[in-house]
Chain A
Amino acid sequence: GAVVSQHPSWVICKSGTSVKIECRSLDFQATTMFWYRQFPKQSLMLMATSNEGSKATYEQGVEKDKFLINHASLTLSTLTVTSAHPEDSSFYICSARPGQGSTGELFFGEGSRLTVL
């Protein structure tokens, strides 16, 4: 299957600082990538859809100024958690669909665990 790489796999930061998480499609181009948040023992919550060369589409209730998404190339999307607070501590996962006109098959990164002190 297609490979999606996410970095860093874990990060600890102080409250008030910003953290950037990268998501790369290693063996395919992705015009669309997705960012999820997962709380312990809960399913994936879609935060936003990242579109190459255009603004991200955020789900209802997700603060776009808090979670900045940039999709500058067909293989890289970044999520920046700005002015992080302890309640932002979570497991963040990205996913991507290979190619144009994809039928819905998604491949996920390994996830990034953020802990805000």
Chain B
Amino acid sequence: QKEVEQDPGPLSVPEGAIVSLNCTYSNSAFQYFMWYRQYSRKGPELLMYTYSSGNKEDGRFTAQVDKSSKYISLFIRDSQPSDSATYLCAMSPGGYQKVTFGTGTKLQVIP
């Protein structure tokens, strides 16, 4: 079993839809959770960064962490074609310990 599981997709939605992206994990030591957006042939761009359980909102993006279920989510409201990219979840126990990435979910928002 991988430490972090993420559905690779692809996920296709119409413009304006609410998108839900998810990751599950097995390491209970993970405390810090991140979501990255990666466009084709580009480096990942940090979207959201959360600590422990709870919700965090930034514009159209909402990150949720449920440590009891070892489950994290990223919601995108009013999705736009420019949101079409691969979304990577990432997590770490903190400090200088290694960050573990999911395999990424490819999202396509259709105009």
Contacts and interface: CB of A to CB of B under 8 A. Distances in A.
Contacts of A32: 96
B95 A103 contact: yes
A106 B43 contact: no
Secondary structure dominating the interface of B: loop
A39 B38 CA distance: 14
B34 A108 contact: no
A55 B96 CA distance: 16
Interface string B24-49: 00000001101010000111111001
A103 B44 contact: no
Contact of B46 (A91, A101, A107): A107
Contacts of B54: none
A33 to B, nearest CB: 12
Interface in B3-37: 8, 31-32, 34, 36
Interface of B: 8, 31-32, 34, 36, 41-46, 49, 51, 88, 90, 92-99, 101-104
8 contacts: A101-B95, A104-B34, A104-B92, A104-B97, A106-B34, A107-B46, A109-B43, A113-B41
